[in-house]
């Protein structure tokens, strides 16, 4: 399944080639941290999938890191949306995408739940991301 997503103004766009191991059901985890609560972060990933990201105007991309500073939240400086998060682990780029940025997915496919990572140490956090986040991430140039 090919999933398209974007920030509101379409400056940050992505295409996720979703390759599920089981029947198609997309986990949608609402993070409980203060940043995600305030920005509507509901994240998903498909470890076997491929993510291609396009930034129309890099000058309008802001990256925000907080807490352990092990993840970059990609914030559109024009519309304020946060369509993806990346984390570099052992030299490899991993990502999750915000289901609220999806453009072509039926809501019935989303299995919503909450997520709480309080108390998780940095090593545990990075190991969880390496296991569960999208491991094939590419930033491609051009519109």
Average pLDDT, the chain: 93
Q: What is the pLDDT of residue 142?
A: 64
Percent of the chain with pLDDT over 90: 79
pLDDT per position as a tens digit, 116-130: 887 889 999 999 999
pLDDT bin (cut points 50, 70, 90) of residue 115 is: confident
pLDDT at position 23 over 80: no
pTM over 0.95: no
Task: Report, as an integer, the average pLDDT of 71-99.
Answer: 97
pLDDT bin (cut points 50, 70, 90) of residue 64 is: very high
Which of 4-8, 18-22, 108-112 is the most confident on average?
A: 4-8
Q: What is the pLDDT of residue 85?
A: 97
Task: Report, as an integer, the average pLDDT of 89-108.
Answer: 96
Q: What is the pLDDT of residue 24?
A: 80
- Topology annotation, domain 2-140: 2.170.150
DSSP string, 84-141: EEEEEETTEEEEEEEGGGBSS--GGGEEEEEE--TT--HHHHHHHHHHHSB-EEEEE-
DSSP string, 5-27: EE-TTSSEEEEEE---SSSS-EE
pLDDT at position 22 over 80: no
């Amino acid at each position: 399944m090919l999933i398209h997503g974007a920030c509101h103004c379409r400056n940050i766009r992505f295409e996720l080639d979703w390759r599920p191991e089981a029947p198609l059901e997309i986990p949608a985890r609402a993070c409980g941290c203060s940043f995600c609560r305030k920005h509507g972060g509901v994240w998903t990933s498909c470890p076997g999938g491929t993510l291609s990201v396009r930034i129309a105007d890099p000058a309008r991309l802001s990256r925000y890191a907080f807490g352990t500073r092990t993840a970059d939240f990609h914030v559109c400086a024009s519309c304020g949306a946060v369509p993806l998060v990346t984390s570099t682990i052992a030299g490899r780029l991993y990502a999750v995408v915000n289901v609220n940025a999806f453009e072509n997915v039926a809501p019935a496919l989303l299995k919503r739940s909450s997520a709480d990572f309080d108390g998780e140490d940095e090593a545990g956090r990075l190991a969880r991301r390496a296991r569960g986040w999208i491991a094939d991430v590419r930033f491609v140039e051009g519109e």
